Amino acid sequence: MAIEQKKTLSKEIVTQAVIDSFKKLNPVVMIKNPVMFIVEIGTLITLILSIAPDALGPSTVSRGYNIAVFLILLFTVLFANFAEALAEGRGKAQADTLRKTKSDTMAKLVQKDGSIKEVSSTQLRKGDIVRVDTGELIPSDGEIIEGLASVDESAITGESAPVIKEAGGDFSSVTGGTRVVSDYIIVKVTTDPGESFLDRMISLVEGAARQKTPNEIALTTLLAVLTLIFLFVIVTIVPLANYLHIKLDIATLIALLVCLIPTTIGGLLSAIGIAGMNRVTQFNVLAMSGKAVEAAGDIDTMILDKTGTITFGNRMAAEFIPVEGVSQKDITLAALQSSVKDETPEGRSVVELADKLGVTWPENEYAAAEIIEFTAESRMSGLNLSNGTQIRKGAVDAIKAFATANNGSIPNDLEEKANRIAKAGGTPLAVSINNRIYGLIYLKDTVKPGLKERFAELRAMGIKTVMCTGDNPLTAATIAQEAGVDEFIAEAKPEDKIEAIKREQAQGKLVAMTGDGTNDAPALAQADVGLAMNSGTMAAKEAANMIDLDSDPTKLLSVIAIGKQLLITRGSLTTFSVANDIAKYFAIIPALFIVALPQLQALNIMRLASPQSAILSALIFNAIIIPLLIPVAMKGAKYKAMDANRLLRRNLLVYGLGGVVVPFIGIKVIDMIIAGLM
């Protein structure tokens, strides 16, 4: 792993969390959490009563009782702060690890006249051109515009094996702080100082850029409303108690309020959100916001780009197949001629295969040729020679249309041979010179292992998988069947991916998209969850709201599981917190009024020793349950792939019923201890 995974309770993190727990007592910080802010106000009032029991009116309880209530409330607030600080501490520890990677390195800035000038990496600006040689650190994020090199990305991804980065294609982006281990590259800087990928990672991991998600805001609002309601309840209890000639001290009323408001989830809510983002980070996924993590938990449809995502993406020329009337040497030469200026991995593989077959083409014959770049619209590339010869290679239907437009004929066996390649799972590229089609280039691609099983898991979770590819329908169908996706879109242009996402979203579904190429960027931006591969282009990473540092498309399954786990954890602990109030109600209310209303004895099912011991027992349980639930908040509630109804039943049974039973047992045990001491 790139990001060091420290234990939740490591000495350094716990020590700092304890210190931060006291720092967070600042009312400016506490007011962001309405529930715990009310508890802090109660703590301050009981502190005053501990010093001067009659400061706010005549008191019928001892100073010791006020001090006990004060200390319990103080620990309640500190435990809540500790949970949040612990979650933040893990993020800061991860950020410190990343910060070690970031250093002020020297860069070889390429001047306009071609000379090299050494400058500090902090002086580099977007658009600058730098050269990075073997053994040197890449000084800033950028795109390779020339060269091919092995790059050690272990500082970012944790993977020890270097990766090949090269100009052109979808593997041209490089990250500042990584190291070139062979050859050299010329890099165009794409970020200004302080805006690099590593800078954003550090900021997001340590929580500086974390914002509350809509669900978190909604739950915070609900908790604030519940707190306000219980505040009114406590206020109305005072005249009722006076009518029954029962004296309720301020400390008792504060204790009653704290026990009835949902302090458990109020104290753990922020920690749950922070820990959720930390868990994603520990899977080597950088989430740009907590909203993206939550959205992953509600995903209905996942749209996957084929090349580089479902397949390895390095389609290599495996064979040159001539059509009727064309010799093997002629198709090999035609394929070579169409690819000599093609700097993509596929283009270079064609040149390499032709060279192995002993076919060459003198450079002076194409030195002045016009290069025709591949576009998503034309779906072909090639050369226009100075003598007027037009050499093209590309999708079979595009080359057929090109030849027909130039009054050429279509070979009778072209379609049959293209279909044979497609059925084998390969990609056929047709080659033509002027209006004559010479044959096909057989490009092979390989589905990444283990995908079929992972997609089956997604299906069990009710998530549909759709593969998008520019390949023809036969090739797409073969790859789709091998990978185990539910649907596929063949011959897809960038706008087709966006339309597919919009179509699903129009049905009220949340859509996740993975991709790595520049042409994936619009779709990644449109998707509710866009996961870009770190090996992909900078455009894809900028458009996405998550980046997979390992460039593993199956990682989205883990992200979805974490998202669901985050939602389940928050819901489970909310259920537990509200269920707690039922037990605390039966503990405190009968104890308060049983003297004036003996009929309430029937509700005193816990048979607590006295009103004071009942209140202190409920208050102590209320305080200690927060640290006991910190591991659940940090690690998340246990999640298994199952349908929503079964999941709901299981969590209601565990956290709903458990939230009622556990406090009854806990409060009774604490009461027995307190009664013995008193």
Where b means 16+ CB within 10 Å and e means fewer, 122-160 reads eebeeebbbbbeeebbbbbbbbbeebbbebbbebbbebe
347/391 Cα distance (integer angstroms): 14
Residues 189, 128 contacting (CB under 8 angstroms): yes
Residue 471's SS3 state is coil
Residues 107, 124 contacting (CB under 8 angstroms): yes
Amino acid at 210: R
Task: From residue 606, give the alpha-carbon distance in Å to each of 596, 610, 662.
Answer: 19, 11, 13
Annotated binding site: 342, 346, 374-381, 393, 516, 520
Residues 605, 582 contacting (CB under 8 angstroms): no
Q: Give the DSSP letter of residue 450.
A: T
Tokens 């069990």 -> residue: 460
Choice among 305, 330, 528, 581 that is catalytic = 305
- Catalytic annotation on 330? no
35/312 Cα distance (integer angstroms): 51
The DSSP-derived string for 385-433 is -TTS-EEEEEEHHHHHHHHHHTT----TTHHHHHHHHHHTT-EEEEEEE
508/520 Cα distance (integer angstroms): 22
Residues 283, 276 contacting (CB under 8 angstroms): no
224/272 Cα distance (integer angstroms): 18
Strands 285-287 and 179-189: unpaired
Residues 181, 135 contacting (CB under 8 angstroms): yes
Annotated binding site for Mg(2+): 516, 520
Annotated binding site for ATP: 342, 346, 374-381, 393
| Max CA separation in the chain (angstroms) | 111
Amino acid at 149: A
Residues 247, 592 contacting (CB under 8 angstroms): no
Residues 444, 471 contacting (CB under 8 angstroms): no
Tokens 């590229």 -> residue: 429
Catalytic residue numbers? 305
